Amino acid sequence: MSVAPRVTVVIPTWNGRALLELVMPSLERQEYRDFETLLVDNGSSDGTAEHARERWPWAEVVALPRNVGFAAGVNRGIERARGQYVALVNNDMELDPAFLGELVAALDGEPAAASATAKMLFLDDREVLDGAGDVLHWSGVVRLRGRGERDRGQYDEPAEVFSACGGAALYRRAAFEEVGLFDEAFFAQMEDVDWGFRARLAGHGCRYVPGAVVYHKGSASMWRDGRRDPRFWGMPVRNCIWMWVKNYPPDCLLRNAHLLLGHELTGLYFATREGMARAQLRAWRDALRGLPRVLRQRRQIQSRRRIGRRELEQVVQAEPVSWRRAWSLLRGGRPAAPRAPG
């Protein structure tokens, strides 16, 4: 039996054959070499699996018969992982050569952290931040720290952040065994924040590692004719509701109910303005239909919780927040003109 590597890199992909020419060569150039690679193909119809086996024989291809979503796809990879750490990398990323080594060093040095997240920049404008860790507001708004800002070094210090962006992060495999895998009902979007919340309630933190740099191309599949695809509009709405229903301790729900309601009403306003009111209402309907399952999950999560409101207040942001900007960021939109910090 071969010696297990320290890191298993899991790359989910769906009809992303061309994108692999970006991420796979940058993975080959990693300075840290003690890793294996699992490429999880989500039922692609563009010959991704066959092409990858021929082009990169050093990577194991896990070919799924259909598109089961990001959460389920990476779960299939995590289940096959042999490494102490599991790195999740989107197929539309270019990795700096120090990426893996910086993340491994961060988790080696922080035993209480369950995950570490990278500094993300836009591929087509490498001076603009795509994100420096996830920020959660008590209203349920989730945003990428620094997204759209010009990179002037303002996020060049390691820091504790609420959670990791699952497109460029490193996780302890033991944390998955303790906290569980990603919630496959989310399909895609917010599943990484939900997992980060569960890990935090279990007493585990998340480190932002500025030396681990990636360049993100961004997904064009969520846009149609310059507008958000209605199929993807409601997904973060539904998943955000499930996230806070599952994870907010009882006193946090009571103290912030007005903010959570305000978030949803603001969302309906912007959805109506964008012609997405039906998508928004369908998302609320789907969230309600899933509540029995989510409430069962909540009982289990809260019964195992090791921290409460006081500890969460150290990492969850208080209001006010710019609703317009937060809603744009939650939807995955990129600001038209990057703004300077502050």
Q: Whole-angstrom Cα distance, residue 199 to residue 205?
A: 7
Mean per-residue pLDDT, 269-283: 93
192 and 115 in one domain? yes
Residue whose C-alpha is closest to residue 163's, from 219, 202, 128: 202
In this structure, is residue 103 part of a structural domain?
A: yes
| Residue that is last in its domain, among 166, 197, 216 | 216
- Residue 210: give its domain's CATH number: 3.90.550.10
Q: What is the pLDDT of residue 242?
A: 98
340 domain residue, yes or no:
no
**173 phi and psi angles, rounded to 5 deg:** -65, -30
Domain count, the chain: 2
> Residue 220: is its pLDDT beyond 90?
no
Name the residue with higher pLDDT: 32 or 318: 32
pLDDT for the residue 328: 54
Pair 17, 140 in one domain: yes
Contact in structure between 42 and 73 (CB atoms under 8 Å) = yes
Give residue 304's domain range: 223-330
Residue 178, domain member (yes or no): yes
Identify the weakest region by mean pLDDT among 63-77, 130-144, 218-232, 271-285.
218-232
pLDDT, tens digit, 9 for 90 and up, residues 10-49: 999 999 999 999 999 999 999 999 999 999 999 999 999 9
| CB of 144 closer than 8 Å to CB of 132 | yes
Euclidean distance between CA atoms 38 and 199, whole angstroms: 24
- Give the per-residue pLDDT at 338: 31
Residue 86 included in any domain: yes
Q: Is the pLDDT of residue 161 over 80?
A: yes
Q: Is 251 found in the same domain as 176?
A: no
Cite the beta strand spans of 186-315 per DSSP E: 205-216, 223-224, 227-228
pLDDT of the residue at 233: 83
> Do 261 and 289 reside in the same domain of the chain?
yes
pLDDT for position 65: 95
> Is 316's pLDDT higher than 60?
yes
Residue 2 forms part of a structural domain: no
**Does 19 share its domain with 159?**
yes
Q: Read off the pLDDT of residues 257-266 as tens digits, 9 standing for 90 and up.
A: 999 999 999 9
Amino acid at 56: W
Q: Rounded distance, CA 253 to CA 267, Å?
A: 19
Pair (193, 47) in one structural domain: yes
Q: Are residues 166 and 101 in the same domain?
A: yes
What pLDDT score was predicted for residue 13? 96
Percentage of the chain beyond pLDDT 70 is: 89
pLDDT, tens digit, 9 for 90 and up, residues 163-175: 999 999 999 999 9
d(CA 107, CA 254): 35
- Say if CB 72 and CB 115 are below 8 A apart: no
**pLDDT of residue 327 exceeding 70:** no
Q: Within a domain: residue 341?
A: no
Please indicate, yes or no, if residue 119 is contained in any of the structural domains. yes
Task: Indicate if 37 and 167 belong to the same structural domain.
Answer: yes
> Which tokens in the block code for residue 61?
């291809």
* Residue ending a domain, choose from 149, 182, 216: 216
167 and 137 assigned to the same domain: yes
For residue 261, tell me if it sits in a domain. Answer: yes
Q: What is the mean pLDDT of residues 79-92?
A: 97
Based on the fold, state whether residues 207 and 239 are members of the same structural domain.
no
Q: Are residues 260 and 115 in the same domain?
A: no
Find the range with the poorest average confidence among 230-239, 245-254, 327-336.
Answer: 327-336
Q: Which of 19-33, 190-204, 228-242 is the least confident region?
A: 228-242
- Which of the residue ranges 155-169, 192-206, 223-237 would you say has the lowest mean pLDDT? 223-237
> Which pLDDT does position 322 carry in this prediction?
55
Is it the case that residue 85 has pLDDT exceeding 70?
Answer: yes
Q: Are residues 196 and 254 in the same domain?
A: no
The pLDDT confidence band at residue 337, using thresholds 50, 70 and 90, is: very low
Query: Does residue 273 surpass a pLDDT of 70?
Result: yes
Split at pLDDT 50, 70, 90, the class of 339 is very low
Q: 162, 187, 216: which is the final residue of a domain? A: 216
Percentage of the chain modeled with pLDDT above 90: 86
